[in-house]
């Protein structure tokens, strides 16, 4: 991700501007994805045997506040869903809640990477893990290169069946039929009949939540993030 995310986002934006009018809708979805808000998408959640995280995450679902903040938005959702001690929020004083504005307030967090740099270049999978750890979460980082399809499915399904932990994926959009660079978002549920995961995509101005085939998502996390010199992957987070 990082700079590639930024440029791909910029490219999509420019494409929108160039194709006549400015659109207030999300981009069209590839047939390989099932939109969550469709009848079929709804049915997949109803049938799901691994959807514990859906309810907690949907309570915290936010839109990333800039085009490189997918990792920050995903982290804020998970930290709030876990109920970890949050800093006071300037906006919502005296309430304490993780927001994308106060996420970098702690010195330990800024030490991992500065908000300015994340705003320009995004973050790598390792930085995502370290940023979450800096807020007191326990994090396991898995690189796509180290996890076969069966293990990928089983680790995520196991996690989605329990309420006290969460999964965030770092994947290449292009591999799942989207525009187009690296991206980060939480996973909320698994449908066993169709072998699909539900991504709660934090770039809500660009794409809605979608059900993606496990094999497609697995291939998308096994792509190389050239900024990191490693593959993308996922993190499992608990408190």
**Enzyme catalytic residues:** 70, 183, 201
Q: Do β-strands 196-199 and 210-213 pair in parallel, antiparallel, or remain unpaired?
A: antiparallel
Give whichever of 168 and 210 is closer to Ca ion, judged by the CB atom.
Answer: 168
- Judge if the upstream peptide bond of residue 94 is cis by omega within 30 degrees of 0: yes
60 lies in the site for Ca ion, by CB under 5 A:
no
Q: Could you tell me which stretch among 23-31, 137-145, 155-163, 175-183 binds Ca ion (CB under 5 A)?
A: 155-163
The Cα 61–Cα 220 span in angstroms is 23
124 lies in the site for Ca ion, by CB under 5 A:
no
Which one among 120, 138, 162, 193 touches Ca ion, defined by CB under 5 A? 162
Which one among 159, 170, 175, 231 touches Ca ion, defined by CB under 5 A? 159
- Cβ of residue 163: shortest distance to Ca ion, in angstroms? 6
Give whichever of 9 and 189 is closer to Ca ion, judged by the CB atom.
Answer: 189
Which residues, 6+ apart, have CB-to-CB distance to 29 below 8 Å?
Answer: 35, 177, 178, 207, 208, 210
185 lies in the site for Ca ion, by CB under 5 A:
no
The Cα 10–Cα 169 span in angstroms is 22
CB 124 within 8 A of CB 114: no
- Cβ of residue 35: shortest distance to Ca ion, in angstroms? 23
Which residues, 6+ apart, have CB-to-CB distance to 218 below 8 Å?
Answer: 144, 147, 149, 152, 153
Give whichever of 68 and 128 is closer to Ca ion, judged by the CB atom.
Answer: 128
Q: Where are the beta strands (DSSP E) in 38-154?
A: 138-143
- Cβ of residue 61: shortest distance to Ca ion, in angstroms? 15
Give whichever of 49 and 226 is closer to Ca ion, judged by the CB atom.
Answer: 49
For residue 180, the 8-state DSSP code is: -
Size of the site for Ca ion (CB under 5 A): 4
Q: By CB under 5 A, name the binding residues for Ca ion.
A: 53, 159, 162, 165
């Amino acid at each position: 991700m990082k700079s590639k995310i930024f440029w791909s986002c910029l490219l999509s934006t420019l494409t929108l501007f160039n194709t006549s009018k400015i659109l207030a809708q999300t981009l069209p979805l590839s047939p390989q994805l099932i939109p969550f808000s469709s009848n079929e998408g709804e049915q997949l959640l109803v049938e799901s045997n691994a959807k514990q995280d859906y309810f907690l995450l949907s309570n915290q679902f936010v839109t990333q506040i800039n085009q490189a903040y997918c990792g920050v938005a995903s982290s804020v959702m998970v930290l709030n869903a876990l109920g970890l001690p949050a800093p006071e929020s300037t906006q919502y004083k005296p309430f304490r809640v993780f927001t994308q504005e106060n996420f970098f307030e702690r010195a330990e967090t800024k030490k991992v990477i500065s908000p300015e740099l994340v705003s320009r270049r995004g973050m790598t999978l390792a930085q995502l893990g370290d940023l979450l750890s800096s807020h007191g979460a326990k994090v396991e980082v898995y690189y796509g290169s180290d996890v076969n399809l069966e293990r990928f499915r089983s680790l995520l399904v196991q996690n989605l069946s329990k309420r006290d932990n969460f999964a965030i994926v770092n994947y290449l959009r292009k591999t799942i039929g989207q525009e187009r660079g690296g991206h980060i978002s939480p996973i909320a549920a698994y449908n066993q009949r169709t072998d699909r995961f539900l991504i709660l995509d934090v770039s809500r101005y660009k794409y809605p939540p979608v059900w993606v085939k496990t094999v497609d998502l697995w291939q998308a996390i096994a792509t190389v993030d050239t900024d990191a010199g490693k593959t993308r992957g996922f993190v499992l987070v608990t408190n």
